[in-house]
Amino acid sequence: MLLKDIKTWVTVPPSGIGGAFWVIVKVTTDDGIDGIGECYGIPVSGDIACRMVEDTFERYIAGEDPHHVETLFRRVYSAGFTQRPDVSMMGVFSGIEIAIWDILGKAHDQPVYQLLGGQFHDRIRTYTYLYPEAVGADGNPGDGAPDVYHDGDAAAARALDYIDMGFTAVKQDPAGPYSFQGGRELSLVELARCEDNVRKLRDAVGDRADILFGTHGQMTTSSAIRLARRLEPYDPLWFEEPCPPDQMEAIGRVAAATSIPVATGERLTTRVEFHQALKAGVSILQPDVGRSGGIWETKKIAALAELFNAQIAPHIYCGPIAHAAATHVAFSCPNFLILETIQTEFHDAILLQPLPWEAGYMPAPGEPGLGITLNETVVESHPYTPGGRLHLEMCQTVLDSNNRKTITELD
């Protein structure tokens, strides 16, 4: 059995939830077994991302035995004389590698988690962002919809909706836009908004749900510590990526200054960068399997975390294929904590059988491989326009601590 062909798609989720587009790949062997994968967050146009995936497959992977995952990783990790963490190349490889594991599971008639050490958990706990009930194509609240991202009352009401669905943890980032400039000192207005948001969430959910305080590297070290002290009375389960991802020592200083566990990882790749996070004092790692190096590398990241008494909470802001891959890693890891999830009509539609939930938990899939089948017709009916929006984009406005503009004005 040898890896023979690859096909790529870029599909656009109508709601914008999960990103502006998803890069999906299908790899086929010479004996007719196919597997599907998904690349996360390659920071170029979707059509260019597909060409990168196809070129990498032809150079390093075509004609190889799919069992040789370690060799394939080392080839791509070292591509072009790099041999270091490269977020774009690892995004490319991760999607291909996920498809390869799907093939291996089908070839051996086993779910992927059984090939990663076997099933450890009976079910896995999941959480969700507080998404608005109505959204526009950019993922922001639609016309007239409550602003659950920045309005504490609206966030609390939406949290109760998710608790009714069975979720026992909810996440939100009310700290304002994240700018290309890097960390900044939040204004008193922004600090107060964050505190008010979390207070109202805690008043609403009580001890029925954990609150996950998400940020996206907006803050300087000092600003993050100031905010953490405001949040501590409400006992969040974690404080996420408080400083830019290239400031790992700063994130470590925040972790040392607060009782709230610090989490990070969605913008990191390979065990090299996650090891740096662990050494800095991060106690919850958030690898995104579509960027972190794939299923096998993410399993290694989880094993490394065990040596630091740390846990993993895989990041998901993508389509359902990377989501499915993350569940298989989660089921096999003793130090798994919780999995981010997204469920929209389009997430369900691009699979012939949607991912299953049982009151906020996901059961273990029993089918071979990833246990999912792509609906290619739906994928192809939502094409990407070359040169369109990137998967995610940062605010291009320079901000300061006296900022009082609204998010809409800043965007």
Q: Which residues are catalytic?
A: 216, 315
Here the tokens at position 369 are 């491989």
Supply angle C-alpha 99, 328, 316, rounded to 5: 80
Q: Answer whether 316's CB lies under 8 Å from 288's CB.
A: yes
CA 2 to CA 33: how far, in whole Å? 10
CA 136 to CA 186: how far, in whole Å? 27
- Integer angstrom CA distances of residue 10 from 23, 38, 346: 5, 10, 14
CA 311 to CA 289: how far, in whole Å? 15
State residue 23 phi and psi, 5-degree precision.
-95, 115
CA 75 to CA 337: how far, in whole Å? 32
